[in-house]
Structure 1
Amino acid sequence: MDYISVKAAADKWGISERRIQKLCKENRIEGIEKFGRVWMIPKDAEKPADSRRKSCEGGRT
């Protein structure tokens, strides 16, 4: 399996490296591996949905 770094995933998905690390720690990316202190993300992994965002139903306009 081919892997990419946290930095490469951050560039690919348009989010911060810190956010990628947090997603890895929470085991929200399928197929991740940790080698020492370095997270490796499968090249074909999909960006997980952002559970921090709420839908706009009944909210502000």
Structure 2
Amino acid sequence: MNEFITVQEAAEKWGITPRQVQILCKEGRIAGVARMSRIWIIPRDAKKPTGDKRRNTGGKDDATKHHV
């Protein structure tokens, strides 16, 4: 299993929290990720996903921008 790393190892490698890595795994944003029982395994050569999935969904600030 040397070709895989743990969530903790990926978090340290990418400079993010283990929870953020778990979320990326759950959302399917890491290529080749797999789940063994309750543990995520991540390919050693997997790249950190880029791009921000959070988008402005029309909050109160958005409403004032389009006021006529």
TM-score (normalised: structure 2) = 0.73
Hey, what's the Cα distance between the residues in 1 that align with 2:28 and 2:17? 17
- In structure 1, what is the equivalent of residue 29 of structure 2? 28
> What do you get for the CA RMSD once the two structures are aligned?
1.7
- Match of 1:27, SS state, is coil
- In the alignment, structure 2 segments of 5+ residues that lack a partner are 56-68
Letter in 2 for 1:26: E
TM-score (normalised: structure 1) = 0.81
Letter in 1 for 2:12: D
- In structure 2, what is the equivalent of residue 51 of structure 1? 52
Q: Which has the higher helix share?
A: 2
Letter in 2 for 1:38: I
- In the alignment, structure 1 segments of 5+ residues that lack a partner are 55-61
% identity of equivalent residues: 50
- In structure 1, what is the equivalent of residue 13 of structure 2? 12
